[in-house]
Structure 1
Amino acid sequence: MRACLVVLACSMLAPAAGWAQTTSAIAGVVKDSSGAVLPGVTVEASSPALIERIRSAVTDGQGQYKITELRPGTYSVTFTLSGFSVAKREGIELTANFTAAINVELNVGALTETVTVSGQSALVDVQNVNQQKTFSRALLDTVPTNKGMLGYAALVPAVVSPPNAQDVGGSKGELSVRMAIHGGKQSDQKLLQDGMRYNAMVQGGTGRAFFINPASSEEIVVALANGGSGEAPTGGVMVDVVPKDGGNRNAGYFLANYAGKKLQGDNIDDELRGRGLKTVNGINDIYDLNGAMGGPFRHDKLWWFTAHRHWGQELLVPNLYRNATPLSPTYTFTPDFGKPVTGYQWNQSDNFRVTWKVSERNKVTISHDFQFNCPCTLSLASATTALEAANESRWRSNMTQSTWTYPATDKLLFSAGATVLIARYHNQAPSIAPPRNSSMISVIEQTGLAGGATAGFRYIAPANTNRDTQRPSQTNERFSIAYVTGSHNVKTGIFYEYGHSWNYSKPNDFGYTYTFRAGVPFQITESAGPILTLGIMNPDFAWYAQDQWTMNRLTLSMGLRFDWLRTYNPAQSQVAGPLSQDRSFPSQDCLPCWKDINPRLGVSYDVFGNGRTAVKASLGRYVVAETAQQADAYNFANTSVNSVTRSWTDTTFPVGDPRRSNFVPDCDLKNPQTNGECGPMSDAQFGQLKITTHPDPDALKGWGKRQYNWQFGTSVEQQLRGNVAVSAGFYRTWYGNFGLGAGPSSAAAPTWESTTTDNLLVTLSDYQQFCVTAPIDPRLGGVSGRRICGLYDLIPSKFGQVDNLVTFAKNYGKQTEYYNGADVNMSARLPRGAMIQGGVNWGNSISNTIGLGVTKSATNWCFVVDNPEQLRFCEIKPPYQPRLKVFGSVPLLKGLTGSANFQSLPGAPIAATWSASNAVIAPELGRNLSSGTARNIELLAPNSVFERRINQLDLRLSKAVKVGALRIQGQFDCYNALNANPVLSMNTTFGPSWLTPTQVLDARMFKVGVQFEF
């Protein structure tokens, strides 16, 4: 209740503003039969989508008009001027953020005469330079696709998402995937509803514990480029939900679909078996129940709408089996091949929305959405964690929103809104996990063991106590004023967001975990804790001003945005853990305090003046997304040493000594020096009050210090034969204010990419160079058996000495990153209700992993801070690869409709990380490794070798019948109809299990569904 009152108060008092709202416009020029422009014409747009029924404007001295802030829907527009007949255009379909060009010629006559023209809506927006894809619920109900983020990504050619997130009929569920486009970052993705963000305060502000309920969505808008708009906060993908408002008639919707184990085939073959795969990922069941209803409390005054959804899946994890010896005193993983492991996810969404016409010119909306989501055993998906070592995640979120619009006159419009998101995430032991022995220590196998744990596999117990908790809540508000004439659409507004990142993490009861090599103990990881941190963002503030100026056939979009970000940490304390002491830390301010000015410019030219051909160009500066996690990054509790590794030789003591091979580190773990079976700590200041990472004040305060990018785009759009539109464009993105955090060889990856870390206690001369001979394996290509040089090891006298300064990379050299790419898209409305959409993108961006993930383009960081090994693979140029996505539908015989969705995407990148032992390196180095018994060496240049392409075809056959006012549609889907089996992810640790697939494209699957509407 308190949250609802806060939202309502914020929206009525209008303390802030946001960015691109999901409203549309109708604009054009009115002339008489001689071609002279007509000022003073009254233009009225009416639609059932408007609770106020009619919005109006008057043409200016150039005969131009524009009606803005229209909801998506079907409109009729009338043009009235004394002495002329009334002109009326009907059937104008508006999608979100689209400006329909409606030019009209009035004939001399009486006002009682009306000339009505009906026709299909324009396909080309000749005024806006923003790029977007709009998906109505009807389209999403027609095309075979997942109704979540992965489903939207499958429909936008230029969108880049990780290969291991490739969805087949909902098999990936609501994986925490971020999208990127045209060289943007996944961390710049923003999620909006009604034009207001609802990302949680995690991972750069891209937290996705709150999922879209398609039944409550009028349309889904995927904004790809922001042109001359000053409203957009970042240059990344924005996914905006246009919520349903209800209406003047009661209406309802229900969808149910299901796929089970017996409805899926098998796509394992001899090639996959030869790579060590015994079983492929599959499904036990996938289900989705989604219903909604809305109508009027009072006609043209008060509308209501409510939607509810429960969906999830149970999946077979490839090559993952229960441990037959979970309590083995020798810490052995013995796969029980008769008991494969299944993972599961489920989600629940319940929301309610009210639209209230307070007066003839004041409209207020209030909505609340509760979600309880369980990614559950998501950590099992890659088959790198045993069931007994997994965590089960539970996410509870409440979101309350309110908006207010007030068209004071036909030209002056006020708008405001607010969002309150209260989120809580926590982990617990999976309900399907076997009993655990509290005395057992978590183990991660580094190289792999034949018939046992594979490389990178964690088993026996989780690394923590399953009590990790996050509370990344936030509140944001917006306010704007728009002044609209026929020639100008001037808008200014403010946006204000504040929130916190509350994180609690506790290691296991021992404070350490084990790492084995081929089943033999060789390393310990010690952890301080528990750790509780609180980072606060207040404010993330923006002011913007923009104007869309139409001069005959030319439209200029000019925007300017001021961004101010401040995050800080209050004073906080950490209690002692098994290996660490009590610690208290003072407050910290300005982590960071950044201010930026971001100009944007766009131009669109209606080439022939008929609204069918447009040439467009845009250029804009954007800052990267940041949140309260920036304060977390430099919280003293995190920049002190909370985790160290040390070598462990369990055979140190002689045969017969009970301490030999007892799987217990017989040493003083609090002693940072070599003692007993343990080598030195990687940082001697572990668990103390000593702060080992210091941000450069010059990097954290001031103007223009935040990482940014410039985005340029130019395109041509053409509407052909009335129903077909094609477009072609070129896009370039380049970055500034960034550092070595983008480099895979960075010795200490910083929290954000605009900085790099310099250990002030070491210099270049403290690193000793060596070479090694790569393993012999024909799968390594030219690397097999070759000498690898340019490798360095810190000298023993400097090992464990850390005093990091975080600062700009430009203080050491020049780093660059850029993207070049081209898009060709098409959209066609064909006879008998058929349609086809799609396109192809050629670009040099690659996305590697799910979650926050990493999307990289051409990068260069060829300079040295501390470790000369930074120069190895310092320039990476991913190849230009096409991404093809096409979907469509066509009516068939006897009321049947067929639809399809086809994707052809680049394959997954291949890596080879070799854990080279001290026995291999020491003869080359002339001494033992400083860090212990082994170190990792990358054998292949990143993003240079790839799996085969991912080609996926999905099909649907549906039939609709009407029973009175009820429309019933049956659906029969076939996903991955070609039964393709490309590898989506694989073991990248060089050894016996190298290149063993951990995930392939899900096998051919059938799904049945039914949909009701009234």
Structure 2
Amino acid sequence: MTFVRRLAALLCLLFFVIAASVARAQTVSTTTGAINGTVTDTTHAVLPGVTIALSGPAVMGAPTTVTDQNGFFRLPSLAPGDYQLTFELSGFGPVTRAGIHVSLGFTATVSVEMSPGSVAETITVSGASPVVDLQSTNVTTHFDTERLASLPGSRDFWAVVAQTPAVSMSRVDVGGSGALTQQPYTAYGLTSGGGVNRGVVEGIMVNEGAGGGGSDLYYTDYGSFAEIAVNAVGNTAEMPNPGVLSQFITKSGGNTYHGTLYADYENDAMESHNIDASQIAAGVTGSNVLSASDTNRLSTFKDFNADLGGFVARDRMWWYGAYRRTTTGQRYPTLVDDIQDTWVPVGTGKVTYNFSASQKFIGYFQHADKSQPDYLGAIQILGGRTTPAIMHADAVWNSHFPTNVWKVEYNSVLTNALLLEVRGGTYHSVWWRTSKSSAPRVEDTGNNFVSGGVYGINFIRNRPQLNGSLSYSKAGWGGNHNFKVGGEIMRDSVVNPFYGFTSATNALSLFVNGSPSQVYVYQSPSFSQSGVLTDALYVNDTWQLKKRLTLNLGVRWDRQQAFLPAQEGPGGLTFADVGNVITWNNNWGPRIGASYDLTGDAKTLVKASFGQFWLYPGADFASSINPNSATWYRQFRWATDLNRNGVWDPGEEGALLGVSGGAASTALDRDLQNTFTRQVTTYVEREVAANFGVRSGFVWNGRRQVRTTIRADRPFDGYSVPVTIRDPGPDGRAGTSDDGATLTAFNLGAQYVGLAAVNLTTNLPDTANSDYYTWEITATKRETGTWSLLASFAETWSRETNLGGGASFTPNALISTDGGRLVYKTWQAKINASVRLPFDLRVTPIFRHQSGTPFGRTFVATLNYGNATILSEPFSAERTPNINVLDVRSEKAFAVNRSRVVGFFDVYNIFNTNAEQALSVSSGSSFLRPTAITPPRIARVGVKLQW
């Protein structure tokens, strides 16, 4: 079915399911919030026919609504911002309610009481905007314009999620040390990547694939957003995935012109040192151009932002534009002879057009282009950008990453109870990486030494998509029902050009602590392609049975069809189109939630939810079963460097250990099912004061039906020959005084050794299931009055599988585990406050405490099928140090004519902690070598101009 036909079918189904009728409803979306409530007189009798006028900076025109026969009103699809409501009815004094704040996905319940007479009563409620959403059972943290503007750090998406309760970062940022690098993070036990989370910019899904670290977003213009909503758990059927739903809404124009200029700067002259002698003794090294004490320091951070918004015609057509350029220079302990310079210019444009009071059109475009001449990463020393591999500038990639996001959106209030939203757009990115050296590639998995050029490879993604929804409500049927029916269609495709090494042998020579081990001989060029088609429908009903009790009932259906276009492999080898590699038609996700107003005053809420969420397979899912592999190679044993030149030469290879690429190397389990996560949440929320709320709750995430790629020619029970291996101890050398105990490992049965590799994508047994249990408490004070606060504590207990795909699918992965599971605990505490002082002064302290990362020491054992990484001790036997970081921003504002100038001064990591954030955990000369050290104290200066 073509893309257009799929869209037509989706819209026809939506209209068929919902019939228009006038009734009460609350309607929010991925880009809006809502206001609803009830109007009564002084005897608490409901008042029908009350006219309600809406006004505010984010309002186009003068929209009004009227209360129904039950005194109920609703104002759906409102952009984030502050609003004012005016209530009028003949025979009653008008009432004005001001300072009502609406956030993304938030329904503000505002009920008023009108008195007989004609005297106007104006009630300013800047201190009384609702903080408890009586309609929702999800857990959301909102970052509005004020909070975003005052948040120091790297000014990116990862700085935002780092402040979100129950989210822990793989690297704690200090003054932009992690800027312009996608950062993996964990929320309620679930780690980013692998189709867990979803990032949505202006309603368009922008995740960079299904796998790979923290690939939840591209590099955006932080200053262009009006609000970011981080929906962590308890999501409705609108969210397909089990993890974090991050929603971004861009600023709009307005009926007045407004703009901002922002600039900040920091460099190493404003920075301390914190690497000490013990860390240098543990293996932190410098080079002839970089001392060991400088390897975790920023060289520079510069950020410039400018935006401007206004109108072409007031209340009819608004426009907004923005530009940002961020530049960083970052030192790494693993990049020993260069500074990693990175720069990203971003341009943004948005147009809003009112066809009428009930119809609106929105157009949006954003372009970013990241350049990074020193992109870190090794090939066989795992870890991606956080690899422990010791590298020089000529051993890493030269990387560029241009991205484009655009959308067009139409929404219409069809009747007082029926809202239509339709949007279409595309996410497009090109990630190309080229080599900077033609020297032969060498990697040592024992001491983490790397030299020589890296191969050239690109990654091109294109994701056109369309989504829409109809919202409708019905009084009666056992209560009041607010229905929302929606769906999406998406074509996600990737092209993966592989150009190989520029060295003559086109090979990777692999050592273990200086001894030859294996060689990977590559074939190039090739142009691997894959994709996935997604069709989805969901229905959600917010059912208010009684005044205090609301149920959220929903179900989502996702259909995913993986495909392989016609493509070309090495040597001109061609592969025909495979339009249907696999289709999942049964990805049903039930959602059940309940919320109860415990005290009846809309201030204390008890809520719970259950949901089943499916992982998004991503366009690269079919790449694991594509005979035209992204990288073609043959893996051989290499025991002797005959001419002792330090690299493999043709003829030195031994037995064939593996093959990547070719028709016989991949297969697909005919009964393959998608991975899902079941989630249960229970929370209590309390509005303890005006604009101040506290919540506490428990979350369980259980990952089931794990899918991965294994070696089908090496079945799990084929590792049946027990052998005794000696733990060589921390030094990695057997026969020394620090040797550990002997362990029982398993060789492959002789009948499986030397077979050609057959990769099988399949579901793993229940041993691969994982469970995560989290308790959280959070306090939130909105930006009103003189102070604001976001404070939280969370603790997670994990039972996580150590069984995986590839080399991890062996009984040797169960050694030193609890029945195949890694059992450990992590925790975190955060305080993000803002205090306004006299004379237009403002102070923003931010404190972050994050527990150290648990780990167990590993060593490499040579078995009859190749090298195996063995866990020598329980996973929680070791832990990196806990991290405590305090940052403070101080601001001074000045009024200049009709503008506002703000100067600010930031200090990051005030106490100059040097806690190691990552260590090399493999036995050998690099064991416990710090690979990521918390950057030292640094200052930043900046200025903002607002008008």
| TM-score normalised by L of structure 2 | 0.89
Aligned residue for 2:623, secondary structure, equals helix
The correspondence of residues 317-332 of structure 1 with structure 2, limited to 5 A, is: 317-318=332-333, 320-322=335-337
Counterparts of 1:858 and 1:992, CA distance in 2: 29
Match of 1:876 among 815, 821, 826: 821
**Superposition pairs for residues 930-949 of structure 1, below 5 Å?**
930-931=864-865, 935-949=868-882
- 1:564-608 C-alpha deviation (Å, 9 max, x unpaired): 0011112333132xxxx9464563623343432211111112222
2:301 aligned with 1:289: no
Q: 1:241 aligns with which of 228, 238, 248?
A: 248
Per the alignment, residue 796 of structure 2 pairs with: 843
Find the counterpart in structure 2 of residue 336 from structure 1: none
Relative contact order higher in (CA < 8 Å, ≥ 6 apart):
1
Relative to 1, partners in 2 of residues 1:944 and 1:397: Cα closer, same or farther, differing over 3 Å?
Answer: same
Q: Which runs of 5+ in 1 are unaligned?
A: 1-5, 323-340, 431-435, 448-454, 652-659, 669-676, 700-704, 742-749, 751-756, 846-856, 919-928
Q: 1:393 aligns with which of 393, 396, 399?
A: 399
1:97 aligned to 2:105? yes
Tell me the equivalent position of 2:590: 599
1:957 aligns with 2:925: no
Is the alpha carbon distance of 1:763 and 1:33 closer, same or farther for their aligned partners in structure 2, counting shifts above 3 Å?
Answer: closer
Correspondence list, 1:537-686, <5 A: 537-538=532-533, 540-550=534-544, 551-576=546-571, 582=573, 584=575, 587=578, 589-638=580-629, 642-651=633-642, 660-663=643-646, 665=648, 667-668=650-651, 677-683=652-658, 686=659
CA distance 1:478–1:16, shift in 2 (3 Å): farther
Q: Which of 72, 82, 107 pairs up with 1:74?
A: 82
Name the aligned partner's letter for residue 158 of structure 2. Answer: L
Determine if the alignment matches structure 1 residue 108 to structure 2 residue 116: yes
Cα contact 2:636–2:653 (8 A) shared by 1: no
Corresponding residue of 1:775: 728
**AA paired with 1:293?**
L
Task: State which of 449, 452, 460 in structure 1 corresponds to 2:452.
Answer: 460
Shift of 1:317: 2.4
Cα separation, partners in 2 of 1:478 and 1:639, compared to 1, 3 Å: closer
Please say if residues 771 and 787 of structure 1, whose CA atoms lie closer than 8 Å, have aligned partners that are also in contact: no
Letter of the 1:373 partner, please give it: K
Q: Does 1:354 align with 2:351?
A: yes
| Aligned residue number for residue 19 of structure 2 | none
How far 1:559 moved relative to its partner? 1.2
Q: Distance in 1 between matches of 2:146 and 2:432?
A: 36
Aligned residue number for residue 922 of structure 1: none
**1:319 offset after TM fit, Å?**
5.7
Equivalent residue for 2:489, pick from 496, 516, 527: 496
Matches within 5 A, 1:754-833: 757=710, 759-760=712-713, 764=717, 767-777=720-730, 785-795=739-749, 798-802=752-756, 804=758, 806=760, 808-809=762-763, 815-828=768-781, 833=786
SS state at 1:152 partner: helix
Letter in 2 for 1:544: Y
Per-residue CA deviations over 1:952-997 (Å, capped at 9, x if unaligned) read 1001111000101110000100000010001012222311221111
Q: CA deviation at 1:634?
A: 0.8
Evaluate the alpha carbon distance shift between residue 813 and residue 413 of structure 1 in structure 2; reply closer, same or farther with a 3 A threshold.
closer
* Distance of 1:170 and 1:693 partners within structure 2: 42
Equivalent residue, structure 1, for 2:288:
none
- Hey, what does 2:380 align to over in structure 1? none
The alpha carbon displacement at 1:556 in A equals: 1.6
**Residue 250 of structure 2 is aligned to residue 258 of structure 1:** no
Contact 2:561–2:584 (CA under 8 A) maintained in structure 1:
yes
- What amino acid maps onto 1:772 in structure 2? I
Q: 1:387 to 1:773 in 2, by over 3 A?
A: same
1:473 paired with 2:448, answer no
What SS is found at the alignment partner of 1:153? Answer: helix
Indicate the larger mover: 11-20 or 29-38. 11-20
CA contact under 8 A between 1:66 and 1:484: conserved in structure 2? no
Q: Distance in 2 between matches of 1:42 and 1:778?
A: 79
Quick one: structure 1 residues 475 and 55, their matched pair in 2 at CA, closer, same or farther if it must change by over 3 Å? farther
With over 3 angstroms needed to count, the CA separation of the structure-2 counterparts of 1:762 and 1:191, relative to structure 1, is closer
Call closer, same or farther: CA 1:15–1:959 in 2, change over 3 Å: farther
Question: Secondary structure of the residue that 1:141 maps to in structure 2?
Answer: helix
Contact 1:47 1:76 in 2 (8 A): yes
- Quick one: distance in 2 between partners of 1:698 and 1:935? 29
Which AA in structure 2 matches 1:491? K
Q: Does 1:365 align with 2:362?
A: yes
Once the two structures are superposed, what CA deviation does each residue of 1:472-526 show, in whole Å capped at 9, x if it has no partner? 1111111111124684322111111112111011222423121234445443222
Does 1:125 find its partner at 2:125?
no
1:620 counterpart SS class: strand
Supply the distance in 2 between the matched residues of 1:297 and 1:681 (Cα, whole angstroms). 69
Cα distance in 1, alignment partners of residues 329 and 841 from structure 2: 31
The residue that corresponds to 2:843 in the other structure is 898
Give the 3-state SS of the residue equivalent to 2:657 in structure 1: coil
- Alignment partners' CA distance in 2, 1:272 and 1:761: 42
2:315 maps to amino acid: D
CA distance in 2 between partners of 1:290 and 1:372 (Å): 15
Q: Which amino acid counterpart does residue 79 of structure 1 have in structure 2?
A: F
**Secondary structure, counterpart of 1:591 in structure 2:** strand
Conservation of the 8 A alpha-carbon contact between 1:24 and 1:68:
yes
C-alpha separation between the residues in 1 aligned to 2:330 and 2:837? 34
Deviation, 1:311, is: 0.1
Task: Please list, as runs of the form range in 1=range in 2, the aligned pairs for 1:432-451 lying within 5 A after superposition.
Answer: 436=437, 438=438, 440-447=439-446
Letter aligned with residue 466 of structure 2: E
Counterpart of 1:696, as a letter, is D
| 2:184 is the alignment partner of 1:168 | no
1:803 Cα deviation from its structure 2 partner: 5.6
Shift in alpha-carbon separation, 1:215–1:343, aligned structure 2, 3 A: same
Contact 1:817–1:860 (Cα < 8 Å) also in 2: no
Q: How many residues align?
A: 899
Q: Distance in 2 between the 1:564 and 1:461 partners?
A: 42
Q: Is the 8 A contact 2:607 2:683 kept in 1?
A: yes
Shift of 1:837: 1.6
Q: Deviations over 1:782-810 (max 9, x none)?
A: x9534232311225553221464736546
1:772 is displaced (CA, Å) by 2.4
Task: Give the Å deviation of 1:155.
Answer: 1.1
- Give the alignment partner of residue 999 of structure 1, picking from 932, 939, 944: 932
1:319-368 superposed Cα distances (whole Å, 9 cap, x missing partner):
6434xxxxxxxxxxxxxxxxxx2111111101111111122321101111
Matched residue, 1:37:
46
**Alpha-carbon spacing, 1:829–1:628, altered in 2? closer, same or farther (3 Å):** closer
User: Structure 1 residues 763 and 977 mapped into 2: Cα distance closer, same or farther (>3 Å)?
Assistant: closer
Letter in 2 for 1:184: L
Identity %: 24
CA distance in 1, matches of 2:301, 2:617: 35
**Quick check: 1:19–1:195 contact (8 Å CA) kept in 2?**
no
| 8 A Cα contact 1:585 1:637, kept in partner | no
Give 2:922's match in structure 1, choosing from 989, 1000, 1007. 989
| Conserved? CA contact 1:45–1:76, under 8 Å | yes
Q: CA separation of 1:989/1:259 partners in 2, compared to 1, >3 Å: closer, same or farther? A: same
State the partner residue of 2:426.
420
SS class of match (2:311): strand
- Three-state SS of the structure 1 residue aligned to 2:664 is coil
1:695 is aligned with what amino acid? L
Q: Secondary structure at the match of 2:34?
A: strand
| SS class of match (2:376) | helix
SS in 1 for 2:935: coil
Greater strand fraction, Structure 1 or Structure 2: 2
What is the aligned counterpart of 1:525 among 508, 517, 520? 520
* 2:15 equivalent to 1:21: no
Residues 143 and 900 of structure 1 are in contact (CA less than 8 Å); yes or no, is this contact kept in structure 2?
no
